[in-house]
Amino acid sequence: MHMSRMVALATALTVGIAAPALAQDKLVRVWHTETEPQTIKAFNDLARRFEAKNPGIKIEAEGLAWTDLEGKIMASLAAGSPPELSHGQPITCTALQSKDLLNPLDEVVKAIGEDNIWEQVKRVCNVGGKQFGLVHAAGTSLLIYRKDMADKAGLKPPKTWNDFLANAKALTQSTKGDGKIDIYGITLPGDNLFINILMGELIKSNGGALFDKNNKPLFTDQKMIEVLEFWRELVKYAPPGWEGDGYLQTFQNLYGQKAAMMFQGYGRGAGLIEKFAPKEKANDKTFDVWSKPVGPSGKEPGVQVDEEPWMLFKDAKHQKEAIEFLKFFYQDDNYLEYVSTVPIHLFPITKSLRASPKYQNLEMIQRWKGWIEVQQGYLDKDQGKPTLVVDWSDMTEKPYLLEVLGSGIVRDMVMDVVLEKWEPKRAADKAQRRLEDLLRSKGYLKG
């Protein structure tokens, strides 16, 4: 056969085989951070049902660990091939929106019904009245404590940080009576993300802020010094080597009887307690929640809301299909299937589902009602904000919070105080200088 004919035949075969495959499916890539097996299964089931109803669209969902997510999003954007949809931190969403990389999800909001979405949720990544990020589910942080131990010791709910420290001291015990402490008052995470989360909460609870209107860090402010002093006292009642504990290890300490309180708990913990705590203790009579205490300069508690928004990337190919998928995701029955996989943590963002008997009657909701009520209280009183967001205006006016989080400067400051035994003022001075350098190098801080 002549060479040119062979080439023509090969090209025709290649096109003939590939073309139907290419024409067949519009691929919607979805990255999410829910890595519990039952949630992944529910999400995949939902995606398959959507595909069945929408021939020609394929949903490719991938569950990613938190630590991988931001880097992967950034790399995909740099490569010009972001997924259609992804979860992200609220501060990631505003950082990307400020660089004009996202498209709004107003059409999804309209389909759900704007009035049907909780106010708190609508404030996340809402810029100029457009919803650039739509939260998949919201759950607040919780102060979880051993009710059985607290009752036995006659402890009251802590109103202030001092009350809380007194409770932590009282709950640090040698239960075997041999003088060896075997249960500590508090379990704290030592990893960067959770130290930043806790810092955001504590500074809010102490009436302070992290940055002023001109982006100048406020780390040498007296309110920050008080936060660091509180942290220094708090770790006295934490297990030795607490700084090596990650988020899941702190839950392990709680249900494994090594610690009596957990300041950075979440509703997800209810499931872990049911699964891993001794049967007779795996209930809300043993593990209950208190409202979080207030700092010496604060007026009301501040908590973090775990509420990753969906983001729709401008450079993604199948925008319309991605929007259709989100509309399908938030339909009550589908959404119920998703949130019911971790019901105490994944609070629905829609009022209709939250009020529906189907949701209210979920067995787990019934079993852990107190945990739900405390979270609801925080949300209703607007005491919950995303990571490092102290005031809602931070959401749009401080697009550098993602870099602050990633830099580890806050964590280093805390470690300087609690492990290196620096005076809070000295550690705060160092962090202030580092943050000013960081913000100056990025052009957010002048002078």
Binding site for another protein (CB under 8 A): 67, 71, 74-75, 77-78, 99, 180, 189-192, 239-249, 252-253, 256, 258, 403, 406-408, 411-412, 415, 419, 437-438, 441
Decide whether 139 or 189 has the Cβ nearer to another protein. Answer: 189
User: β-strand 309-313 against 133-135: which pairing, if any?
Assistant: antiparallel
Decide whether 240 or 447 has the Cβ nearer to another protein. Answer: 240
Decide whether 239 or 267 has the Cβ nearer to another protein. Answer: 239
- Whole-number minimum distance, CB 248 to another protein, in Å? 7
Decide whether 82 or 301 has the Cβ nearer to another protein. Answer: 82
CA-CA distance, 121 to 424, in Å (whole number)?
35
Helix/strand/coil percentages in the chain, nearest 5: 50, 15, 35
Farthest CA pair distance, the chain: 95
- Whole-number minimum distance, CB 283 to another protein, in Å? 22
- Whole-number minimum distance, CB 4 to another protein, in Å? 22
Is residue 70 classed as helix, strand or coil in its secondary structure?
helix
- Whole-number minimum distance, CB 220 to another protein, in Å? 18
Decide whether 175 or 376 has the Cβ nearer to another protein. Answer: 175
Decide whether 174 or 366 has the Cβ nearer to another protein. Answer: 174
Of 31, 41, 29, 30, nearest to 342 by C-alpha is: 41
Decide whether 80 or 447 has the Cβ nearer to another protein. Answer: 80
Task: Answer yes or no: are the C-beta atoms of 432 and 219 closer than 8 Å.
Answer: yes
- Whole-number minimum distance, CB 150 to another protein, in Å? 22
Decide whether 241 or 447 has the Cβ nearer to another protein. Answer: 241
Is residue 177 classed as helix, strand or coil in its secondary structure?
coil
- Whole-number minimum distance, CB 405 to another protein, in Å? 8
Is residue 396 classed as helix, strand or coil in its secondary structure?
helix
Query: In this structure, what DSSP letter does residue 293 have?
Result: P
List of residues 6+ apart from 177 with CB closer than 8 A: none
- Whole-number minimum distance, CB 354 to another protein, in Å? 32
Query: In this structure, what DSSP letter does residue 389 have?
Result: -
178-192 residues labelled b (16+ CB within 10 A) or e (exposed):
eeeeebbbbbbbbbb
- Whole-number minimum distance, CB 99 to another protein, in Å? 6
Residue ranges with strand state E in 205-326: 261-265, 287-290, 303-306, 309-313
Cα 76-62-408 angle, rounded to 5 deg: 60
